[in-house]
């Protein structure tokens, strides 16, 4: 199926003309410093849609796959009859999930809801999704995501969408309000899971960490990834130690069949796609069985590495594999532990507020700089 998908992607992108490269350069600017100038319906523009499929689709394609593969047993056991992809674009997150289902032999969803405000991109996404899930019923939901109702998903993806609402403290509250409303409107089934993925850059990730803590105050919400079991308030956010993102080596993506795409992109754009990153958080609204692990919040190039161990960030005893990796201690495996770790949480104490202003806690490396900024995307 991977080959079929890449074949379809190749024909959808078409020839790599100078016009395509111009759109691609503009799109990359719009996703970074030139964000303010981005057209709101950019996915409805033929050239920009093609450019997105040439660059961002392959860039993001491994993300959901990788997230699921980190906690295989948890995601594999999840009942996903109806999948909802909010701000689906050309279907990137759904495609990633379906590739992973094929990889691990998980049953495919029976219904897939593709939601976006761009009509063109919905049709494109459906074309790709049908290759990987030919029997699934595809439902289109066109419009503004925060006004969508009764989408009724077992699993909802929101991949690289929230940052389109802007960034920084004021935007955060707007995102929280929209998300709260979205969750209240019956879009997630009881016991369902919401997975939000964002770019690894400082502002969208700090916003996501803030949202993570804000959503955790809901007594029904359990953070299931990437945070270690039982983490009530993000210690990285509380102590203002930088931002938490994952940066698996790109070799992982290339194993999915992305090597030729990467080579072409690198040649065309004169860039190096070594290890682009992303940040994410997944919530389940129901009972969940946790697992013991730490997560690397710095990488092997920073010695010593640092691990989030739930309540605190600690120096890694050995080197950490890469930023965002789950690090299992001796005798631990990614298997369920006492559900007690996820029992309803008390509200954070004032000195644990998400903005961290009143916290005076210090890390062993408090004199050090926060983790290095990821490479420009
Ligand atoms: C950066 S793309 C992400 C596409 C895909 N999810 C991915 O991970 O590659 C953002 C998508 O969200 C859609 N979008 C942004 N804001 C939206 C909104 N308020 N309501 C509906 N769709 C929105 C855009 O049209 C675009 O297709």
DSSP string, 216-259: HTSTTEEEEESSPTT--S-HHHHTT-----B---HHHHIIIIIH
Work out whether strand 188-198 and strand 153-159 pair parallel, antiparallel, or are unpaired.
Answer: parallel
Question: How many helices (DSSP H) and strands (DSSP E) are in the chain?
Answer: 12, 11
Instruction: Give the max Cα distance, the chain.
Output: 57
Burial of 37 (C-beta count, 10 Å sphere; 0-12/13-18/19+): exposed
CA distance readout (Å), 364 to 41, 213, 307:
47, 23, 12
Spacing, Cα 163 to ligand 1 middle (Å): 9
Which residues 6+ apart lie within 8 Å of 349 measured at CB? none
Distance separating alpha carbons of residues 116 and 245, to the nearest angstrom: 25
Mind giving me the DSSP string for 50-64?
HHHHHHHHHHHTHHH
Q: Which residue is closest in CA terms to ligand 1's atom 26?
A: 89
Q: Is 148 in the pocket of ligand 1 (CB under 6 A)?
A: no
Tens of each residue's pLDDT in the chain, 377 residues: 788 999 999 999 999 999 999 999 989 888 876 777 777 788 888 999 999 999 999 999 999 999 999 888 889 999 999 999 999 999 999 999 999 999 999 999 999 999 999 999 999 999 999 999 999 999 999 999 999 999 999 999 999 999 999 899 889 999 999 999 999 999 999 899 999 999 999 999 999 999 999 998 888 888 989 998 778 899 999 888 889 999 998 888 888 888 889 999 999 888 888 788 999 999 998 777 666 788 999 887 777 789 998 889 998 888 888 899 988 766 666 543 333 233 323 333 222 322 333 332 223 222 334 445 555 45
User: CA of 204: how far to CAs of 26, 105, 110, 208, 371, in Å?
Assistant: 20, 33, 32, 6, 15
Sequence length of the chain is: 377
As a whole number of angstroms, the distance between CA 171 and CA 120 comes to 28
How far apart are alpha carbons 133 and 131 in whole angstroms?
6
Give the mutation target among 54, 117, 121, 278 for probing the ligand 1 site: most ligand atoms within 8 A of CB. 117
Alpha-carbon span 251 to 321, nearest angstrom: 13
Residue in 102, 107, 97, 103 with CA at minimum distance from that of residue 77: 107
CA-based nearest residue to 117, from 76, 148, 151, 94 = 148
Kindly report the pTM of this predicted structure.
0.88
Q: What is the C-alpha to C-alpha distance for residues 155 and 188, in angstroms, rounded to an integer?
A: 7
Mean pLDDT of the chain: 84
Ligand 1 pocket test, candidate residues 54, 164, 175, 196, most atoms within 8 A of CB? 164
- Structure-token match 């289902």, residue found: 101
Over residues 288-340, the pLDDT tens digits come to 766 678 899 988 777 778 999 888 999 888 888 889 998 876 666 654 333 32
- 187 Cα: distance to centroid of ligand 1 (angstroms): 17
- C-alpha span between 210 and 231 (Å, rounded): 14
Structure tokens at 295: 């997560």
Among 87, 99, 366, which residue's Cα sits nearest to residue 236? 366
Rg (CA), the chain: 20
Ligand 1 centroid distance, CA of 52 (Å) = 11
Token reading at 353: 């507020």
């Amino acid at each position: 199926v991977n080959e079929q998908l890449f074949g379809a992607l190749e024909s959808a992108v078409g020839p790599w003309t100078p016009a395509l490269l111009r759109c691609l350069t503009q799109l990359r600017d719009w996703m970074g410093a030139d964000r303010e100038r981005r057209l709101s319906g950019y996915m409805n523009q033929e050239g920009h849609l093609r450019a997105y499929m040439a660059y961002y689709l392959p860039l993001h394609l491994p993300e959901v796959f990788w997230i699921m593969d980190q906690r295989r047993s948890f995601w594999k056991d999840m009942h996903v009859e109806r999948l909802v992809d909010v701000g689906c674009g050309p279907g990137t997150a759904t495609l990633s999930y379906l590739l992973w289902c094929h990889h691990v032999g998980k049953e495919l969803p029976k219904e897939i809801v593709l939601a976006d405000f761009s009509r063109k991109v919905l049709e494109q996404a459906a074309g790709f999704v049908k290759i990987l899930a030919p029997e699934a019923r595809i439902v289109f939901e066109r419009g503004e995501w925060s006004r969508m109702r009764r989408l009724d998903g077992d699993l909802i993806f929101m991949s690289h969408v929230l940052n389109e609402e802007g960034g920084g403290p004021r935007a955060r509250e707007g995102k929280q309000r929209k998300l709260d409303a979205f969750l209240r409107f019956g879009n997630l089934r009881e016991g369902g899971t919401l997975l939000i993925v964002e770019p690894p850059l400082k502002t969208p990730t700090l916003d996501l960490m803030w949202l993570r803590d804000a959503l955790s105050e809901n007594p029904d919400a359990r953070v299931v990834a990437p945070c270690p079991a039982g983490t009530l308030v993000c210690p990285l956010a509380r102590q203002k130690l930088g931002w938490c993102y994952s940066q698996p080596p790109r070799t992982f993506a290339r194993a999915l069949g992305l090597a030729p795409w990467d080579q072409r992109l690198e040649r065309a754009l004169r860039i190096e796609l070594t290890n682009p990153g992303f940040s994410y958080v997944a919530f389940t609204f129901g009972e969940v069985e946790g697992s013991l692990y730490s997560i690397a919040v710095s990488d092997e190039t920073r010695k010593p590495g640092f691990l989030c161990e739930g309540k605190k960030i600690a120096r890694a005893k050995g080197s950490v594999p890469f930023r965002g990796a789950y690090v299992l201690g001796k005798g631990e495996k990614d298997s369920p532990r006492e559900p007690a770790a996820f029992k309803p949480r008390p509200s954070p104490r004032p000195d644990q507020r998400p903005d961290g202003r009143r916290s005076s806690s210090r890390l062993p490396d408090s004199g050090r700089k926060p983790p290095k900024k990821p490479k420009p995307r």
